[in-house]
Copies of this chain bind each other. A is one copy, B any other.
Amino acid sequence: MSIQYAILGLLSEGPLSGYDLKKIISESETLYWSGNNNQIYRPLVKLFEEGLVTKQVERQEDLPDRKIYQITAAGEEALKAWLLSTPPAPDLKHELLIRLMWADHLEPDELADLIDRYEADIQTYLLMHQEKQKRDGAQDTSRRGTLSRLIHENWIGFYRHELDWIKHLREELNSHS
């Protein structure tokens, strides 16, 4: 999936500039893109050419012009069609698992070290998501709020599963040596 539908989705909530989009995307964990310039401005030109968004230039004194993008009816249609399409299965790239395939090249303590470092990273990510969950109004009871909470819960559950599995991994490896 390209970033363009995420842009359409964000614009469906209201007009935004490229700069705004860039910030939102780079700060979101679920929208996994880096949110670099090329990834925003290029697709916006394409969306504009396809008539899915309109552009409005806002002059500013002493600052570059702001180009405010707004979704069109065609854009909303494209967004809805995408929303209705079956999402592909999650695409998980798990480098630790790949390294484990050849872990017999490592000494037991080298492997244990690797796992420790990995676990620390996962713990950090878990904390990040838990904090975000708290900040993002966990007590919002609207349908919107419920969905947002459920999205965060998926991430938190994912990292918890990973930590549980690491524990299991360690036990198995220890009982083996």
**Is A98 within 8 A of B1, CB to CB?**
yes
Asked if A49 is an interface residue, CB under 8 A from chain B, the answer is no
> Which of B101, B110, B144 sits near A30, CB closer than 8 Å?
B101
Residues of B within 8 A of A157 (CB): 161, 164-165
A146 part of interface (Cβ distance < 8 Å): yes
The segment from A38-46, A52-60, A62-70, A83-91 that touches chain B is A83-91
Pairwise interchain contact A151-B30, C-beta atoms closer than 8 A: no
Q: Is A103 an interface residue (CB 8 A)?
A: yes
Q: Which residues of B contact A138 (CB under 8 A)?
A: none
- Total copies of this chain within the assembly: 2
Q: Inside 8 A of A121's CB, which chain B residues have their CB?
A: 86, 88-89
Interfacial chain B residues near A73, Cβ < 8 Å: none
A79 touches B93 (CB 8 A): no
Q: How far apart sit A149 and B151, CA to CA, in the bound complex (Å)?
A: 30
Give min CB distance, A78 to chain B, whole Å.
Answer: 12
The number of chain A residues with a CB under 8 A from chain B is 64
Closest residue of B by beta carbon distance from A8: B102
> Cα distance A89–B117 when bound, in Å?
10
A107 shortest CB reach to chain B, Å? 10
Within residues 154 to 171 of chain A, which ones have a CB less than 8 A from any CB in chain B?
Answer: 154-155, 157-158, 161-162, 164-165, 168-169
6 contacts between A and B (CB under 8 A): A30-B101, A83-B114, A87-B96, A87-B99, A103-B147, A104-B147
